Amino acid sequence: MTIRSLLVANRGEIAVRIVQAARALGIRTVQAHSAADRDMLAVKLADAAVEIGPPSAMKSYLNIDAVLKAALEAGVDAVHPGYGFLSENAAFAEAVEKAGLVFIGPSAEAIRLLGDKVEARKVAQRAGVPTVPGSDGRVESLDAARALVESIGFPVMIKAAAGGGGRGIRIAETMEDFERHFPQASAEALAAFGDGGLYLEKVIARARHVEVQILGDGKDAIHCFERECSLQRRRQKVWEEAPSQALSEAVRKALCDSAVALAREVGYRGAGTVEYLYDDIEGRFYFIEVNTRIQVEHPVTEMITGIDLVQEMIRIAGGAKLSVRQEDVKVRGHAIECRINAEDPAKGFMPAPGTVTRLIVPEGEGIRFDTMLYEGYTVPPFYDSLLGKLIVHAETREACLARLGQALDGLVIEGLATTIPLHAALARDAAVAGGAVHTRFLEQWLETGLSTPPATLKEIA
């Protein structure tokens, strides 16, 4: 089907990104928005806009009936869910298709299968992808879980079967911890996801978080190499880069090939990400999950490959085959992305919504800023704190870090606190420059103070 118009069922910087990608393809856009988002940039850029509900996400961006009503009344051909909200909701994908519209993403069946962490693990095993030692499926009782933990050893991670985004996870260091956390985790998972099912995984010490970007058209699949996302706070990614400096070429090939094998196992359609833990000590990687949507950090892959992932997923949803062959996907240089959030690093990352009184965006070769901001815009307090993403590209990682530092110095957002000072410090940190990072690095770094001047974030805030 030729897509001539689409509804953007999301907000913030990803909504702007989708509008721009669709425009480049000659596609008309209609921006869905809550009452709190009437003035957001995507509304101003889209060809049309429609209000779908009050500020509460549950009554607007997560309201399937409201989004579908808006799409049908707007007369669009397709719906792009972006990331978050309804992007990995199989019921929403089904509802869109039943309404005679195109869902720009994988099939509802694939979302449902891969969205269940236990079932996704089974798919990975069928595809020959290594998985973290742990339960083969859901653990049905505390007694069964206790026996399994005794066999795999501590520390162990208790994970919600229907979880995602780092939520619904508890780590137990001892059996006493485990027996306390297990029922709490189940109750938390039930409240957050409507599913109290749990599974267990061995904790990999000093693990790196590495993920592979995949593209599939339902019949064939390719990879666009990997990204490293090890710098995290509270299991939320803060800084991403591509390619990973930790991998040998042999490991890189095996890792990327395994992601393609998994994609082909389910006949994957659209853009997706296969996430792994990489054991830096043993040189082994382990599958953890699949994100069946575009990722926040997709720009670093675009910068090193030259492939517009959002345009590609729109084309595929319209029935096109992959426009690029695996042998044509090459890595060029290095790219780093910093997530700029409305949070105050000097005050425990306290949320800091407010009005942008001054905005200066750095420009130049290899610099990109994906954002929803403009001077005079008031950031609402109802949603995720992400304001934008500063992405830089250069021929080497060393040059990329230097360019990043300069770009951060040139990025000015006044009127509210942001995480720019945190990234400026990280860009000049000796350990970060040396690549000696892991998934617990940033939290330890924040607890002990910076390894290079300035000594505290308050000095650069």
Amino acid found at 146: R
- Do the two domains 5-104 and 207-459 of this chain adopt the same fold? no
Average pLDDT of 266-281? Answer: 96
Q: What is the DSSP letter of 377?
A: P
Supply the residues annotated as catalytic.
293
**% pLDDT > 70, the chain:** 96
Q: Look up the pTM and report it.
A: 0.89
Per-residue pLDDT at 203: 87
Distances 95 to 31, 65, 98, 217 between C-alpha atoms, Å: 19, 9, 5, 21
Query: At 330, is the secondary structure helix, strand, or coil?
Result: coil
Average pLDDT of 392-405? Answer: 98
Cα(82)–Cα(61) distance, integer angstroms: 11
Domain 207-459 fold: D-amino Acid Aminotransferase; Chain A, domain 1 (3.30.470)
Angle at 182 between CA 177 and CA 187, to 5 degrees: 135
Q: 158: pLDDT confidence band, cut at 50, 70 and 90?
A: very high
Average pLDDT of 275-287? Answer: 93
Task: Using the predicted structure, report yes or no on whether residue 327 has a pLDDT greater than 70.
Answer: yes
Give the tens place of pLDDT for each residue, 166-225.
Answer: 666 889 999 999 999 999 888 888 887 788 889 898 888 789 999 999 999 999 999 999
Average pLDDT of 307-336? Answer: 98
Task: Using the predicted structure, report yes or no on whether residue 450 has a pLDDT greater than 60.
Answer: no
Per-residue pLDDT at 137: 79
Domain 133-202 has CATH 3.40.50.2000: no
Tokens of 425: 């410090």
- Please report which helix (H) or strand (E) contains residue 400, including its range: helix 397-410
Give the tens place of pLDDT for each residue, 337-362.
Answer: 999 999 999 999 999 999 999 999 99
Task: Using the predicted structure, report yes or no on whether residue 451 has a pLDDT greater than 80.
Answer: no
- Given the candidates 3.30.420.40, 3.40.50.20, 3.30.70.920, 3.40.640.10, the CATH classification of the domain at 5-104 is 3.40.50.20
The structural domains of the chain, with segments of one domain joined by +, span 5-104, 133-202, 207-459
